[in-house]
Structure 1
């Protein structure tokens, strides 16, 4: 094969995910971590997926609840940082962090289920205890700015909507190298319940074989729980790319995922062994049923997944 020649990978798109999981479990460096659970970890990983023809990197060797991940993405795009809107939709993925803060600060050992129910039932309680700090969506659509005033002081300026700016730049200047959404705000990381794991998104417009412009996307993730987090991250990032492509009038291209500390938790051994024993099946596709006026106007009803026949779910604990 000569430089520049194209090639086709015949294996299922998911095989690279399973290969990464196997490599981490067998060869990863065993490390102590923030949670105290312990991990096996590799540093610097890459996965690549072609999103042409509505294809999506939706993992099939266990069921991934794509509607839950989609609701989280739509929540990010609102800029909201309180878990109550998620709780009211039955989305549980952020519950442990505010619950842990509540128990730590009050000394009340309220059970998680009771805490979540109180978040749903009591708006004032949710306002106080359901907020996660300036996580993800806050940075994406309202990155803070400050303006100098007299006396060497600063006042808060108008927030920057990075997502809206990327849509505009894709439409008006597709060749730019600045189509970036950044979540790692150094000044505000200490205020976040969890610093952003999927932190940097970059987009790139290229010409497809058919001559149509294609939107490629790259996600850099500083820290990645491969068993529980990565299946959600792959879906969500590809979903965001598909939404941006539709809003900018582009065809979906390649999605590239890059991981920094890429790990498996030691207490996920049963999940790893079970999942690695399964064979990928099917080619999931995402249909976006309408084009809303802006990227902030999508609803869960706008998305339909076809040809998704996964193996059963595998439960494992979340490390907080």
Structure 2
């Protein structure tokens, strides 16, 4: 994952101090691109341990079109908890519950989860149920898979999560907002455009998630793995992550693991967590960091 460490160093060398919506402050640059050949191994960061279980469950959650955190918390995935908790704290039902207590209530109380676990029309909703101005809904993911199978030379193999009229209803507007597939020499490649890139916490997840999505779609379309290309808009390091970034940059890069996928699955909706096996992952220890909400 030399590409990722080069991104961190690029931001440190060229970034400028910038304020942000969270009030934390960042060192920020604009415009950067990384490329990962998926034939070389699964691009999961080795300079710190990355929680693959969360990545897989979140991706399956997106593919389902789900927008409520109940599925995630039932599988002990915590990456989206802060946003609905923030809104719950502003509600008349809030009685001083901690984040841990809030998550337990989401997990155990279906009615509470429906009321306070919803994130609005975020990623999964846009992938599977994109609403146009005429009220027509489009299953973008299903359509792009069908197009890859029937018209692989198309330049319109795109899924877009940025739906302007619905942005105010989302707990967090899409950061990884559009992805574009490309077929050549029987290989499937994917380019992601990400408008906002938290390089310490978010980017390792995003790289692995979209690499895995590309591999899954390649399998259901009977294609080989090509490249994952990651294009970033505002690429930043939060000021309270600088020590963690320095620690990562001091660590040696280790060999990439291999992702094995159940080859019997030929429908994107049939994948389950048990269909994925990571082999040969030997990362450095976890480095913790606070998420800015």
TM-score in terms of structure 2 length: 0.97
Tell me, yes or no, if the aligned pair for 1:102 and 1:108 is still in contact at 8 Å: no
Listed as ranges, the matches of 1:101-250 within 5 Å are 101-106=87-92, 108-145=95-132, 147=134, 156-157=135-136, 159-207=137-185, 213-250=186-223
Partner deviation per Cα, 1:56-82 (whole Å, 9 max, x = no partner): 111000001112101000000111100
1:257 aligned onto 2:230? yes
Q: Which runs of 5+ in 1 are unaligned?
A: 1-13, 148-155, 208-212
Q: Secondary structure at the match of 2:107?
A: helix
Q: CA deviation at 1:313?
A: 0.3
How many pairs are equivalent? Answer: 292
Contact 2:219 2:263 in 1 (8 A): no
Quote the offset at 1:144 in angstroms. 1.5
Any runs of at least 4 consecutive aligned residues in structure 1 with deviations exceeding 3 A, and if so which?
none
Q: CA RMSD in A?
A: 1.1
When Rg is computed on C-alpha atoms for both structures, the one with the higher figure is: 1
Give ranges in structure 2 of 5+ residues lacking alignment. none
Partner of 1:86: 72
Give yes or no for contact 1:227–1:272 (8 Å, CA) kept in 2: yes
Distance in 1 separating the partners of 2:26 and 2:65: 32
Aligned partners of 1:118, 1:160: CA distance in 2, in Å?
33
Offset of 1:104 from its aligned partner?
A: 1.7
Distance 2:209 2:217 in 1: 12
Structure-1-length-normalised TM-score: 0.89
| C-alpha contact 1:42 1:261 (8 A) present in aligned 2 | yes
- 1:201 touches 1:219 (CA, 8 Å); kept in 2? yes
Aligned to 2:16: 29
